[in-house]
């Protein structure tokens, strides 16, 4: 049976349909989850998609973190449920303290949408197992607050534990420390990514198909893990 | 070293989407009894010489705030 | 306080009222008294002053805009024509598309970020009102000189505002324009376009019909922001100092609330719960209530005190004039009301029943039991004043057309031509626009097939069939200044061509007419000529005008801006996988379609090299444009085109540079024997396109050209690391890229 | 009706690009002698009951500020 991957829609989520399309293209079954519903409907993994939850006026992800669905996501993540936060989803994961550090205003103060070169730094997560070691990929970035910051102790730990999932190469689009584009929790089931793999699943509408492997990876991971 | 603080708030009649989003979120956090939330800017300017209020006021008026939609106050600290 | 009620107004008879301060002329005031058979109440007076303002009543432009309807080519695609919030065209497969461009020039000058942001919000609600899901936006921006202080003040905020609102709504930005010219100093033009799609059977109407139906106000609370915005902001000339003549109030946009409002309304439409819907934009509730009641030939009874307010102290005229954003007015049956309210609650959208539809033929508005308004709605919505403004051909036009650029010194040596090329591609109007377009989300919704810097934006509508649409917006104030009739047609031709080069077939037109003061006879003449040119052009091309917007009172100091009609053309393509990009492929024959004449009037070269504006604009040949479009559509359908890019500002040289840089490949060009390199490289003759044809497909494609009597010239091959024009220049791509891409970042950081 | 003001500033060790942009723009406005500009938030919360400092502090700590990057102060007004 195909894995069921939940895609959460918060008020202001924008890339939820694109994330669902990516799951489908990778061979999974997308399941729509609603912010106000604490029930995860037995999904095997969860994607927190990009967008501007609640407008992101105060601080990106600050309000979404309190949505009923997040309570369930946080506890399920503790039990090893694979969770991928993309852009706004990454911000929500940091605000929820599922991931360390914070995403702050881009150094140049502009929203920036460009096709970005990345290096996948670890295949030891639920969402990157399908990549070749140190794979170079092209995936769009589009954010105004994508500059990753954390204190030096945290950064050292992320480096030492190989929890930096992807790094910007050929130019850092927002000033992120250590060129960080994505990180994982220590268990590797929770991953936050600033770039948008769901926008790189079809050459007709994106710069590449490189993003597909994130979604294919979690499906492979799920097959490997007994239900 | 002198410090000047400029406080900028949207005019009362102007919509404050950020404040509105916060006050709407509060009940779901179990916080009741809040009638309004307004979110503005607090700008802290350090001068190496004496605090220059007029200059700070000029900065606020020309660079930090748009008098069409915002009010501001300037204080030495 | 006590309110001025209908009762008092009727009893008390004549009273000195501040109609002049509200912008009404004496004869207009007398007309109101005539309509009502008494003096208006204070609230009624405010409503008439807003609805009869230039912005709402189109009183100066109406008599000319009629041509768009009168001359409209027969088109079985038109489902909803001019006059609605936006026209609707049938694109097949049971789908309909609606699109429209609108100006927010003056608010964007006063508050760049919020002015531009609410401009996007407003046009998106226009599209939503038709029943469509908004699927993309575009923005046409014009500023003073790129290095002018006011440009540095306004541009970053305006771009950030367009991005801030559109990105937060989840609408991909797929194209636009960025033009610098001193004519727009202190009066930037901010024109926003939105396109939406819907099942044909979901088209909504903005009529209040069905006696007893409920009038529901959806969305944001009503506040004091933007009061008088329409009449003051949109209809008052800015004084010569550059500041607004009257300090207007500006609205702050809330894209998050708009996003919820969109999802809420679309669910209401899908469940067929509304009988009528109208967005609240300029003139707020005044406009929405009068227009829906007038359209329904019904009456309406509104209890104004039910309107949710941000400030309890607001008075009836303020509530009716407020331009608070993110609001819609829905007409629903009493039976549907509970379902409507629960869907609104699901989306956390405020919904309030504020009145009901009546059969009285009157719009009656009560305030805490007192009647403050009792008017025939059509008298506000449709029967406003209409002016035949005096017109005069500009006194300086003959002289301007006589000062032809043919006398200007030209580059001739290889060294001069190379220097000219590098200077041109780095000039503000021809340089790379990435600094702007990077601030816009092009990927959201996952259906963007083409976006900037391509000639058109293209969106896939159906993932299975591949059906899609393409849109381009274009305008040229210099051409229109030199000849308004031709200038408008050149803008139309360029947008039409930009759609055609992607492989799509142009089917419909929208427009935003940015002009000076209609009270200036010379401006009025420019306006009349431009409208006539556009209407004639649309008839010839068979692409009806589906809607648009007029922005008068654009001037820098005392001088009106160059007349600037911005034209948007919509095209359809039945399979987006057949799209044709602008970047050269690694190999292929390069052909120039069309004919090159010596045409430098209003050209970018004359401006960049000599700050010269004079002569006549390029000749328009609409049948040539049609031939081009048919050949390109057929070539795309049969997969004969590796690339296509249309020629406009900057001519052939500009297009070769853009297609090389975009394709990351060079080109070896050989101009025909005896060709003057300067004219061939920089002339701006219309009706031309550069295409790259795969080896082998060449003759098949040129046969198409011959069949369509379309002249073509083989000018070279794609390949290599540089752009080489035999015997003239050879510039490495890296050098071209540095010149082309460095300009905006160095200007704006 | 009671009013509580929450002032939120980025921690000193966190870079403030917006503040830097302002200080960089100042010389071109003829303003000299500014050593630093920091831009934070000023949140004005109205309660319908008595001013509830603890509650305001809780709102600030859980929602208004992100302790990872921001410091805040809470005062009754
Ligand atoms: N303000 C803007 N917003 C979005 N796209 C823009 C803007 N300005 C320019 N562009 C894009 O940059 C590219 C080049 O613009 P332009 O030279 O005017 O195109 P064309 O000459 O084909 O009309 C086009 O794809 C256009 O859509
Ligand atoms: Mg073009």
pLDDT at C161: 98
Contact at CB, A113 and C442, closer than 8 angstroms? yes
Contact at CB, A57 and C256, closer than 8 angstroms? yes
pLDDT at C281: 86
Contact at CB, A109 and D17, closer than 8 angstroms? yes
Of all protein residues, the one whose alpha carbon is nearest to atom 18 of ligand 1 is: C177
C-alpha of residue C174 to centroid of ligand 2, in Å: 13
Chains near A, with 3+ CB pairs < 8 A? B, C, D
Q: Which residue carries 């998106």 as its tokens?
A: C124
Strand order of the β-sheet with C88-92 is C78-80, C88-92, C95-103, C189-199, C133-143, C173-180
Is the CB of residue C452 less than 8 Å from the CB of residue C155? no
CA distance A55 to chain B (A): 8
C474 CA: nearest ligand 1 atom: 23
CA distance A145 to chain B (A): 16
C454 CA: nearest ligand 1 atom: 25
**Considering C64, C104, C205, C479, which one is annotated as catalytic?**
C104
- Round to whole Å and give the CA distance between C628 and B48: 67
β partners of residue C724: C668, C730
- Round to whole Å and give the CA distance between C222 and C296: 25
- Report the residue of chain B nearest D45, measured CA to CA: B37
Contacts of A15 in chain C (CB under 8 A): 170, 444, 446
Is the CB of residue A91 less than 8 Å from the CB of residue A55? no
Of all protein residues, the one whose alpha carbon is nearest to atom 17 of ligand 1 is: C430
Is the CB of residue C184 less than 8 Å from the CB of residue C143? yes
pLDDT at A1: 65
Helix (H) or strand (E) holding D6: strand D2-10
Q: Which residues are CB-neighbours of C616 under 8 A, at least 6 positions away?
A: C401, C404, C482, C483, C486, C601
pLDDT at C249: 64
Q: Cα–Cα distances in Å, from C486 out to B73, C99, C477, C550? A: 54, 24, 11, 19
- Round to whole Å and give the CA distance between C652 and C681: 5
> In which residue ranges of chain A is pLDDT below 50?
227
pLDDT at D50: 78
Is the CB of residue C329 less than 8 Å from the CB of residue C218? yes
Is the CB of residue C545 less than 8 Å from the CB of residue C489? no
- Round to whole Å and give the CA distance between C304 and C326: 18
Is the CB of residue C733 less than 8 Å from the CB of residue C416? no
Strand order of the β-sheet with A180-184 is A29-34, A4-9, A45-48, A83-86, A190-193, A180-184, A164-168, A112-120, A136-143
Query: In this structure, what token pair is assigned to residue C732?
Result: 């490495």
User: DSSP state, A101?
Assistant: S
User: DSSP state, A98?
Assistant: S
pLDDT at C2: 55
Which of C247, C257, C311 is nearest residue B13 as measured by Cβ atoms? C311
DSSP, collapsed to helix, strand or coil, labels residue C647 as: coil
Mutation test residue for ligand 1: of C433, C571, C658, C744, the one with most atoms within 8 Å of CB: C433
Exposure of C212 by Cβ count < 10 A (0-12 exposed, 13-18 middle, 19+ buried)? exposed
- Round to whole Å and give the CA distance between C281 and C251: 11
C178 CA: nearest ligand 1 atom: 8
- Round to whole Å and give the CA distance between C277 and C482: 43
Is the CB of residue C249 less than 8 Å from the CB of residue C318? no
Nearest to C114 by CA among C239, C229, C286: C229
- Round to whole Å and give the CA distance between C138 and D73: 43
How far the first Cα of chain C sits from its last, in Å, is 54
Name the pairing type of β-strands C545-551 and C505-514.
Answer: parallel
- Report the residue of chain B nearest C109, measured CA to CA: B68
- Round to whole Å and give the CA distance between C100 and C102: 7
Query: In this structure, what token pair is assigned to residue A140?
Result: 């769009």
Q: What is the SS3 string spanning C525-586?
A: HHHHHHHHHHHHHHHHHCCCEEEEEEECCCEECCEECCCEEEEEEEEEECCHHHCCCCCCCC
- Round to whole Å and give the CA distance between C500 and C564: 23
The mean pLDDT values, 10 residues at a time, for chain C of 749 residues are 82 85 92 95 93 90 94 88 86 96 95 96 96 98 97 97 98 98 97 98 94 97 71 34 43 95 98 96 92 94 97 91 94 98 97 97 96 96 92 98 96 97 98 98 98 98 97 98 98 98 98 97 98 98 95 93 98 98 97 98 98 98 98 97 98 98 98 97 98 91 97 97 97 98 96
Q: Which residues are CB-neighbours of A133 under 8 A, at least 6 positions away?
A: A123
Of all protein residues, the one whose alpha carbon is nearest to atom 13 of ligand 1 is: C453
Q: What is the SS3 string spanning C675-738?
A: CCHHHHHHCCCCCCEEEEECCCCHHHHHHHHHHCCCCEEEEEEECCCEEEECCCEEEEHHHHHH
Cα angle C221-C226-C231, degrees, rounded to a multiple of 5: 135
Exposure of A119 by Cβ count < 10 A (0-12 exposed, 13-18 middle, 19+ buried)? middle
Contact at CB, A150 and D63, closer than 8 angstroms? no
Helix (H) or strand (E) holding C598: none
Mean pLDDT of chain D: 90
* Residue spans of beta strands (DSSP E) within C8-61: none
Query: In this structure, what token pair is assigned to residue C499?
Result: 């759609």
Integer-rounded Cα Rg, in Å, for chain B is 16
How big is the A-D interface in CB pairs under 8 Å? Answer: 32
* Residue spans of beta strands (DSSP E) within C244-289: 276-279
C257 touches chain B (CB under 8 A): yes
Of all protein residues, the one whose alpha carbon is nearest to atom 14 of ligand 1 is: C453
Q: Which sign does the torsion angle of CA C230, C232, C236, C242 carry?
A: negative
Could you tell me the pTM of the whole model?
Answer: 0.95
Contact at CB, B21 and A66, closer than 8 angstroms? no
Is the CB of residue C172 less than 8 Å from the CB of residue C441? yes
Q: Which residues are CB-neighbours of C694 under 8 A, at least 6 positions away?
A: C585, C587, C588, C589, C640, C642
DSSP, collapsed to helix, strand or coil, labels residue A48 as: strand
Query: In this structure, what token pair is assigned to residue D56?
Result: 């305001």
pLDDT at C638: 96
User: Could you tell me which residues of chain A have a Cβ less than 8 Å from any Cβ in chain C?
Assistant: 11-12, 14-15, 17-18, 21, 50-52, 54-57, 108, 110-114, 140, 142, 144, 196, 198-199, 202, 204-206
Quick one: which ligand is closest to C604's CA? 1
Q: What is the SS3 string spanning C141-182?
A: EEECCCCCHHHHHHHHHHHHHHHHHHHHHCCCEEEEEEEECH
Q: Is C104 a catalytic residue?
A: yes
Contacts of D67 in chain A (CB under 8 A): none
Kindly report, residue by residue over D21-41, the tens digit of the pLDDT: 999 888 888 888 889 999 999
Query: In this structure, what token pair is assigned to residue C488?
Result: 């408008």
C-alpha of residue C452 to centroid of ligand 1, in Å: 6
Q: Which residues are CB-neighbours of B28 under 8 A, at least 6 positions away?
A: A66, A67
C455 CA: nearest ligand 1 atom: 22
Q: Dihedral through CA C31, CA C35, CA C39, CA C41, nearest 10?
A: -110
Touching D: A residues 121-150, CB under 8 Å: 149-150
Q: Which sign does the torsion angle of CA C444, C448, C453, C457 carry?
A: negative
Residue by residue, DSSP assigns C385-423 as: ----------TTHHHHHHS-GGGS----SHHHHHHHHHH
C447 touches chain A (CB under 8 A): yes
Query: In this structure, what token pair is assigned to residue A201?
Result: 């699943």
Active site residues of A: 87, 196, 198
């Amino acid at each position: 049976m195909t894995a069921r991957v939940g895609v959460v829609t918060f008020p202001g989520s924008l890339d939820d349909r694109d994330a669902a399309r990516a799951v489908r293209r990778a061979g999974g079954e997308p399941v729509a989850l609603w912010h106000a519903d604490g029930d995860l409907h037995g999904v095997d993994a969860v994607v927190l998609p990009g967008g501007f939850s609640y407008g992101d006026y105060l601080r990106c992800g600050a309000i979404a973190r309190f949505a009923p669905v997040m309570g369930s996501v946080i506890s399920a993540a503790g039990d090893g449920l694979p969770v991928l936060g993309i852009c706004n989803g990454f911000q929500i994961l940091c605000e929820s303290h599922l991931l360390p550090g914070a995403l702050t205003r881009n150094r140049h103060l502009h929203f920036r949408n460009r096709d970005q070169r990345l290096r996948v730094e670890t295949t030891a997560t639920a969402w990157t197992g399908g990549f070749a070691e140190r794979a170079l990929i092209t995936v769009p970035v589009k954010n105004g607050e994508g500059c990753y910051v954390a204190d030096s102790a945290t950064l050292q730990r992320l480096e030492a534990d190989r929890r930096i999932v992807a790094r910007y190469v050929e130019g850092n689009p927002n000033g992120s420390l250590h060129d960080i584009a994505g990180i994982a929790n220590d268990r590797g089931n929770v991953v936050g990514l600033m770039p948008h793999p769901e926008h790189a699943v079809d050459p007709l509408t994106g710069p590449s198909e490189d993003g597909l492997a994130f979604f294919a990876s979690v499906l492979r991971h799920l097959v490997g893990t007994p239900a | 070293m002198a410090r000047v603080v400029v406080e900028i708030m949207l005019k009362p009649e102007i919509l404050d989407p950020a404040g509105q989003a916060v006050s709407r979120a509060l009940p779901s956090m179990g916080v009741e009894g809040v009638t309004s939330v307004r979110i503005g800017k607090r700008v802290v300017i350090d001068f190496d010489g004496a605090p220059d209020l007029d200059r700070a006021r000029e900065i606020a008026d020309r660079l930090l705030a748009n008098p069409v939609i915002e009010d501001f106050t300037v204080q030495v600290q | 306080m006590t309110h001025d009620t209908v009762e008092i107004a009727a009893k008390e008879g004549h009273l000195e009222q501040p109609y002049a301060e509200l912008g009404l002329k004496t004869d207009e005031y007398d007309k109101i008294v005539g309509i009502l058979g008494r003096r208006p109440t204070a609230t009624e007076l405010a409503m008439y002053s807003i609805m009869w303002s230039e912005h709402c009543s189109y009183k100066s432009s109406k008599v000319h805009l009629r041509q768009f309807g009168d001359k409209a080519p027969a088109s079985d695609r038109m489902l909803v024509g001019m006059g609605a919030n936006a026209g609707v065209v049938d694109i097949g497969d049971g789908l309909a598309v609606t699109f429209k461009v609108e100006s927010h020039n003056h608010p964007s000058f006063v508050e760049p970020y919020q002015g531009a942001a609410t401009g996007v919000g407003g046009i998106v609600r226009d599209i939503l009102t038709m029943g469509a899901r908004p699927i993309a936006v575009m923005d046409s921006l014009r500023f003073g000189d790129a290095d002018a202080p006011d440009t540095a003040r306004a541009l970053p905020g305006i771009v950030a505002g367009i991005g801030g609102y559109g990105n937060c709504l989840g609408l991909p930005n797929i194209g636009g324009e960025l033009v610098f010219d001193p004519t727009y100093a202190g009066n930037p033009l901010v024109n926003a376009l939105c396109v939406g799609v819907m099942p044909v059977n979901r088209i909504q109407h903005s009529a209040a019909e069905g006696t007893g139906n409920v009038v529901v106000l959806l969305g944001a609370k009503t506040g004091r922001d933007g009061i008088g915005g329409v009449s003051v902001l949109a209809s008052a000339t800015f004084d010569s100092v550059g500041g607004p003549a009257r300090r207007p109030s500006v609205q702050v946009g809330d894209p998050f609330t708009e996003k919820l409002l969109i999802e809420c309304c679309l669910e209401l439409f899908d469940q067929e719960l509304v009988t009528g819907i109208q967005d609240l934009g300029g003139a707020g509730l005044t406009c929405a209530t009068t227009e829906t009641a007038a359209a329904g030939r019904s009456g309406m009874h509104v209890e104004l005190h039910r309107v949710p307010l941000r400030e309890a102290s607001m008075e009836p005229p303020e509530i009716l004039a407020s331009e608070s954003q993110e609001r819609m007015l829905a007409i629903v049956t009493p039976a549907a009301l509970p379902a409507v309210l629960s869907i609104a609650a699901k989306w956390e959208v405020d919904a309030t029943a504020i009145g009901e539809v009546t059969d009285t033929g009157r719009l009656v508005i009560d305030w805490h039991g007192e009647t403050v308004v009792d008017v025939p709605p059509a008298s506000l919505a449709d029967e406003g004043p209409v002016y035949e403004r005096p017109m005069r051909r500009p006194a300086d036009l003959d002289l301007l057309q006589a000062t032809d650029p043919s006398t200007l010194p030209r580059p001739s040596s290889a060294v001069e031509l190379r220097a000219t090329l590098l200077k041109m591609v780095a000039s503000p109007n021809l340089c790379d626009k990435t600094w702007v377009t990077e601030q816009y989300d092009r990927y959201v919704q996952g259906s963007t097939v083409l976006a900037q810097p391509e000639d058109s934006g293209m969106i896939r509508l159906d993932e299975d069939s591949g059906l899609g649409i393409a849109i381009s917006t274009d305008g040229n104030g210099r051409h229109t200044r030199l000849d308004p009739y031709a200038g408008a047609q050149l803008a139309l031709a360029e947008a039409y061509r930009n759609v055609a080069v992607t492989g799509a077939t142009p089917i419909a037109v929208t427009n935003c007419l940015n002009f000076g003061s209609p009270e200036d006879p010379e401006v009025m003449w420019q306006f009349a000529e431009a409208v006539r040119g556009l209407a004639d052009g649309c008839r010839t091309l068979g692409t009806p005008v589906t809607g648009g917007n007029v922005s008068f009172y654009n001037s820098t100091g005392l001088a009106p801006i160059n007349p600037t009609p911005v034209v948007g053309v919509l095209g359809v393509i039945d399979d987006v996988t057949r799209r044709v990009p602008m970047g050269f492929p690694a190999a292929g024959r390069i052909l120039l379609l069309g004919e090159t004449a010596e045409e430098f009037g209003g050209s970018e070269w004359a401006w960049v090299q000599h700050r010269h504006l004079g002569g006549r604009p390029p000749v328009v040949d609409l049948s040539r444009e049609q031939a081009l479009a048919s050949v390109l559509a057929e070539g795309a359908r049969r997969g004969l085109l590796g690339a296509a890019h249309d020629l406009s500002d900057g001519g052939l040289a500009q297009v070769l540079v853009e297609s090389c840089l975009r394709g990351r490949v060079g080109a070896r060009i050989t101009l025909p024997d005896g060709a003057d390199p300067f004219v061939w490289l920089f002339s701006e003759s219309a009706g031309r396109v550069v295409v790259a044809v795969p080896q082998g497909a060449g003759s098949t494609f040129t046969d198409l050209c011959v069949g369509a009597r379309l002249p073509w010239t083989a000018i070279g091959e794609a390949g290599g690391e540089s752009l080489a024009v035999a015997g003239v220049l050879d510039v490495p791509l890296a050098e071209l890229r540095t010149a082309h891409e460095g300009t905006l970042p160095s200007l704006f950081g």
